[in-house]
Amino acid sequence: MEKLKGMRQQVKQWQSGQRTGNLVQKSLQTMDGRRLTAFLSMALLLGACNTGGSSSGGLKIGSLLPSTGDLAPVGQPMIDAVPLLVETVNQCGGVNGAPVTLIAEDDQTDPTAGNAAMTKLTEVDKVAGVVGSFASSVSQSAVDVGVRNKVILVSPGSTSPVFTERAKKGDFKGYWSRTAPPDTYQARALAKLAVDKGLKRVSTVVINNDYGVGFEKEFVEAFKKLGGTIVNEKNPTRYDPKAATLDSEAAAAFAGKPDGVAGVLYAETGSQLLKAAYQAGLTEGVQLLLTDGVKSDDFAAQVGKTREGKFIIEGAIGTVPGADGKALAALSTLWESKKGGVPPAYVPQAWDAAALLVLSAQAAKANTGEAIASKIREVAGGPGEEVTDVCKGLELLKEGKTINYQGASGNVDIDENGDVVGVYDVWQVQADGKTTVTGKVLPE
């Protein structure tokens, strides 16, 4: 009996990642055939029973966001927002009577790396929910891992319409939500902005992934409905993010003398493309229309300067999901005290994603992915008392009351497909290379 207890303990330690591969190897080498069979059978049985997290231990959540790769400049502030939320929650008593544990993983803006990191978070770390990812291509790869392990993924920035389509088919079984609206809306907002600026003939150039192609489709349709012409509609320009050079794609995007070029880009590769277009003498007199993938104060410097010393993309305009939620003022004050300045793009969405995970676990009184998934829509947009403060929300939930969380990004009312509706900020690259929000635009 003691031997069996010892074997059970070894299985638990091996599965939870608390022991190294050397221990497992040593154990296997010393077992006889029957003990080895029992050991592996028990491990497989326990692995098959994963429900995402643990109802007995404290709540464990993960983040799956890009600190490296093409989206790192936008991703880093989002990464900082999640531990700030966890710190706030733990200071007011945690969730279900225990502190929240956060495990952060870098998805490297790469679907393969994101899949591996999500597998680690769900199957080794045993988190109940994950904030992530940012790139739609990474979330596409990671969400199936979450569904398989009953761990909910709440993205603060994956905006591809593909997720709505998959949700309608029942692919996610409730283990997917996002706090940023889908590109169905942002593409319409960018098309409206182009028309408002008097642009009649526009070309598109997009990164060849779910985000880029999905956005392109919606933008083309919306711009044409508003009376515009897509110059390269019959031969759209889509670039491979792993291409060695982007000279030919730059030439194709700016061909035909368009009034503007709508670029759905990532920072690292997008900067190469726009620099190549400038060096080929193609950017003069062309209005650049950009999106959230490159909305950072570093992007203009990445593209570079003209021979006269001006930033190449000075005057470029773009859209980004805005934030107008009732909790934004408090988050802004906290961010200023901890990080300095105002919360960058997608920080409010990241904060809200993490907030929904902890509030849903408390509402369900259980720290599992199944429990969170069962309560997230009720917490986000149910008939309960409106709250903007996460600690206040946790307090009411502990008392058995219901809440309606009003986020920093917006009201975060999640629909049956995991989607929210939001507003869009208009931003412009200034003479110093920095981006400034100049107004708002609503999709038509």
- Point out the residues of the chain with pLDDT beneath 70: 1-51, 54-56
Closest CA to 67 of 59, 58, 78: 78
DSSP-assigned letters across all residues of 102-151? EEEEE-TT-HHHHHHHHHIIIIIS--SEEEE-SSHHHHHHHHHHHHHTT-
CA 222 to chain centre: 24
Residue that has been written with the tokens 């429990």 in this structure? 371
Residue in the block written with tokens 């997009």: 206
315-358 tens-digit pLDDT:
999 999 989 999 999 999 999 999 999 999 999 999 999 999 99
226 CB-contact burial (10 Å; exposed 0-12 / middle 13-18 / buried 19+): middle
Q: What count of Cα atoms within 13 Å lies in the side-chain half-sphere of residue 122?
A: 31
User: What per-residue confidence (pLDDT) applies to 444?
Assistant: 77
Q: Are strands 176-178 and 229-230 parallel, antiparallel or unpaired?
A: unpaired
Angstrom distances, CA of residue 111 to CA of 57, 114, 144, 176, 268: 31, 5, 12, 17, 16
Q: What is the pLDDT of residue 330?
A: 97
What is the CATH number that goes with domain 184-323+424-441? 3.40.50.2300
166: which 2 tokens? 């998959």
Q: What is the pLDDT of residue 50?
A: 53
Tell how far CA 100 is from the center of its chain: 21
The residue to which tokens 């593209």 are assigned: 303
pLDDT score of 422: 80
| Spatial contact of 140 and 210, defined as CB atoms under 8 Å apart | yes
Q: Which CATH code for domain 60-180+335-375?
A: 3.40.50.2300
At a CB cut-off of 8 Å and minimum separation 6, what does 263 contact?
Answer: 204, 205, 206, 253, 270, 273, 274, 288, 289, 290, 291, 294
Is residue 36 classed as helix, strand or coil in its secondary structure?
helix
pLDDT of residue 186: 93
Contact 160, 211 (CB under 8 A): yes
